[in-house]
Amino acid sequence: MPAYDPLNPETDCFKPPAIPTEVCCLHCGCEYESYLIEWRVEQSDDGKQHGFWCCPTPGCDGRGFGFDILPTDPEYVGEDGEAMWSSDEDEADPDAEADALEPEFDDDPQVSAEWSDDDDDDLPFGDLSNPTNRMQGYFDDTSDDLPW
């Protein structure tokens, strides 16, 4: 494989396939044949030029076969013999992975002696499990300096 050259369309890894295939752009949603993907050279802010394989739809900024521009055929196999799409449908139990990710909780959690209800006197606002105590002492009812 020749060395990468930012101005040579043949060395770009996102070039369209040699055998035309129907593709769809993720940016604009247009479907077309891959031979219509265009090579464009642009100048960056630092003055360097760089080429991109781009969606041919006017105003669309989709770039690169296999990146923003994908084959519509889910069975598509690239020139390297690798499938471009992957699927989870081959799994025997699709819920098995989701079940494995769920945390397990005890039905009867034990309260640590360090955090028992007897320690509420040490907390600045008392028993915080009681909603009326959550803001107690947080605001002074006689204050006229409330921010709202």
Q: pLDDT digits over 84-115, tens only?
A: 777 666 555 556 566 666 666 655 556 555 55
Q: How far apart are CA 54 and CA 7, in angstroms?
A: 14
Q: How far apart are CA 46 and CA 40, in angstroms?
A: 18
The predicted structure's pLDDT at residue 106:
59
Segment 35-42 shows an average pLDDT of 94
pLDDT band of 122, cuts 50, 70, 90: low
The predicted structure's pLDDT at residue 5:
79
Domain range summary for the chain, segments of one domain joined by +: 9-79
User: Order of strands, edge to edge, in the sheet holding 31-33?
Assistant: 31-33, 22-25, 69-71
Higher pLDDT, 133 or 64: 64
Q: Show the DSSP H helices in 14-129 as ranges.
A: 94-101
